[in-house]
Amino acid sequence: MREQTVTMIEIAAAAALFMGACWFSFHMQSEIDAALEAVNLMTQEQSSAITTVKMRSSTDDLTFLGSEVLFMLQEVQQGKYEMSVDGVMFLPGLDLDSVNLSVIEAGARYQANYSYSMSGTINSIQHIKVR
């Protein structure tokens, strides 16, 4: 009788530990999900052409990698603004399949110059390769 009582106490303790671990895991998962939802709400309206970065000093110029410039072409395709890369124009509504993208080097760095409308929206972006 004594052995059965000890065994039942051990099983109850193991079950309690397992349930506690499950509850903790569920709580962590719900916290991660809430954080991801908050980040999604904060960034869903942000243009991919605008990057929020911490500058090292006020004299540093903001540069983009060629891969980031290629990503910005999605918004040019959607007709949000026009863009030029080293003098090659990409007009709003372009078809990415019919455009020669070899002028954009994926590993190169490009400095961006923005042109804004009177309402504050981006009209065009000019990317110049940093040499």
The one-digit pLDDT tens for each residue of the chain (131 residues) are 789 999 999 999 999 999 999 999 999 999 999 988 888 777 766 666 566 555 555 555 678 888 888 888 888 888 888 999 988 898 888 888 888 888 888 888 899 888 888 888 888 999 999 87
Q: How many CB atoms lie within 10 A of CB 127?
A: 25
Cα separation values, 65 from 14, 16, 19, 60, 72, Å: 54, 53, 48, 15, 11
- pLDDT, residue 98, reads 84
Residues contacting residue 113 through CB under 8 Å, at least 6 positions apart: 125, 126, 127, 128
- pLDDT, residue 122, reads 86
Cα separation values, 79 from 47, 56, 83, 90, Å: 13, 33, 10, 10
- pLDDT, residue 19, reads 96
Handedness of CA 27, 28, 31, 36 (dihedral sign): negative
- pLDDT, residue 11, reads 95
- pLDDT, residue 37, reads 86
